[in-house]
Structure 1
Amino acid sequence: MPSTLVHVALAGVLAAALLRESAFTRRAVAVVLLATILPDLDSFVSPFLAGAHRSLGHNALIPLALFAVLVYDTRVREESWLAGRFGATAPHVAGVALVGFAVAGVGLDYVANGVNLFWPLHDQFYTLNGRAGLSNQRGFFQTFVDLTPDRVRTTENLHYSTGIDPSPGKEPENVERVFPLVWAGWQLLLVVTSMGVLTARFVREE
């Protein structure tokens, strides 16, 4: 599964691409990266609440609620609280941070291993995974939409191993705790690319 480092790397690319010139500062980039880390904090709750990791912070309800609050603050209120409190670029930075939270934080896990997308309203893990292509014999084909019945994965029967909570229940004293950094070549490529893109953007803005 993607490590927090890989999530941050994708967020770095998003920050470099989406933050406009007036808002592109080290502080703004840090806000976007921090927002992307927030979903993974549910791993610290997992030892106390079974199934919390990939559920408590990894769902669609949180970014939707935050999006509604952001729209209210910037479109409904006569004066934005964010702009008044943190400056004129704050709503824009908050929007990019929300994209980082939803896409790099939750979305990357959604396509990699699965998240409890509608928790706590509906307890079931979903994964966006499949293939799509063109064949000279079959034409267009895809496996992203698959209605074949499968074992329903819930917080009761699924546990995502982390360095904080390696296995369900009480851990033995000598349990190995692994905190992944990069687990595949594409992840290393993404981390290096993100560092390069952000560095180039900072140099250009200076």
Structure 2
Amino acid sequence: MPSTLVHVALALLLAAALLGEEFDGRAALVVAAATVLPDLDVALEPFISGAHRSVGHTFLFPALLLAALVWDARRRDRSHLRSRFGDRGVRLAFVAVACIFGAAIVPDLVVGGVNAFYPLHDAFITVDGRLFYSTDRGWVQTFVDLSPPEPSEPSEPSQPRTTENFRFRTVLDAEPTLGVEDSGGGGSGEPQRVERLFPVAMTGFRAWLLPLSAFVTAVRLRRA
């Protein structure tokens, strides 16, 4: 899954593009902090099964924030956000919400999936597929199945992933992993060693995003 650092890297690139000359150190901190918020639902795992990628990754989270910002911004002179931080603060708030959705939630939606409408609808959803043009087959996409259903023998429908039957592995998990042998050796009954993973970049593409984002952010901050 994309690490929190990858999410922040995407958010900084997005904010640098949307804010332009208004992108400075304070804006970078606000955007980074906002982007980290969804991943904090991992702390709720000991109390709510399947909380990670559910509580903080639901589309309702940025939707409610956006509704609150729109309501406050339309109050013009009575806007609490505008009166305290000015028009720049309002724009930064909208960009922060955009980063929560576009840089924190959507990357997880396409890698493993998220509980997109939790708690209204408890089901993990994954958007994955391919889109390409073939000289033999023309345009091909596998994101949405548009083929007509084929008659077949009735079978039991697959069980959807919910918070009751599915959870993502997190750094809080302490379970033996592949390649870990019994520390006692020979079935002594002693507890096995465990491995906790703190992901940084699990693919080459994500690894490239980190220095790319650092470079763009540094250039923008120097200009600011």
TM-score (norm 1): 0.90
Which residue is 1:80 aligned to?
A: 79
Q: Distance in 2 between matches of 1:139 and 1:132?
A: 11
- Counterpart contact for 2:77–2:83, Cα < 8 Å: no
Q: Displacement of 1:78 after TM fit?
A: 4.1
Partner of 1:8: 8
Partner secondary structure for residue 72 of structure 1: helix
Q: CA RMSD in A?
A: 1.9
Native 8 Å contact 1:46 1:165 kept in 2: no
1:81 & 1:61 partners in 2: Cα distance? 23
| Residues 157-193 of structure 1 deviation map (CA, whole Å, 9 limit, x = unaligned) | 21101112356xxxx7953221111111111100110
| Cα distance in structure 2, aligned partners of 1:150 and 1:183 | 29
Q: CA deviation at 1:4?
A: 0.6
Query: Which amino acid in 2 is paired with 1:199?
Result: A
Structure-1 separation of matches of 2:173 and 2:106: 22
CA distance in 2, matches of 1:108, 1:97: 16
The equivalent residue for 1:176 is 195
State how 1:124-143 maps to structure 2 within 5 Å.
124-143=123-142
Structure 1 position 77, deviation (Å): 4.7
Task: Please state whether the residue corresponding to 2:78 is helix, strand or coil.
Answer: coil
SS at match of 1:140: strand
Amino acid at match of 2:13: V
* Ranges in structure 2 where 5+ consecutive residues have no aligned partner: 150-156, 176-190
Partner of 2:163: 155
Deviation at 1:7, TM superposition (A): 0.6
Task: Give me the whole-angstrom Cα distance separating, in 1, the residues matched to 2:216 and 2:169.
Answer: 31
| CA distances 1:80-136 after superposition (whole Å, capped 9, x unpaired) | 211112233110010110011111111110111100000000010111110011122
Do structure 1's residue 17 and structure 2's residue 17 form an aligned pair?
Answer: yes
Contact 2:131 2:142 in 1 (8 A): yes
Q: Paired residues, what number? A: 200
* Counterpart position of 2:28: 29
Q: Could you say which residue in structure 1 is the equivalent of 2:187?
A: none
Shift of the alpha carbon at 1:75?
2.0
Which structure has the bigger radius of gyration?
2
Runs of 4+ in structure 1 off by over 6 angstroms are none
- Shift, 1:150, TM fit: 4.7
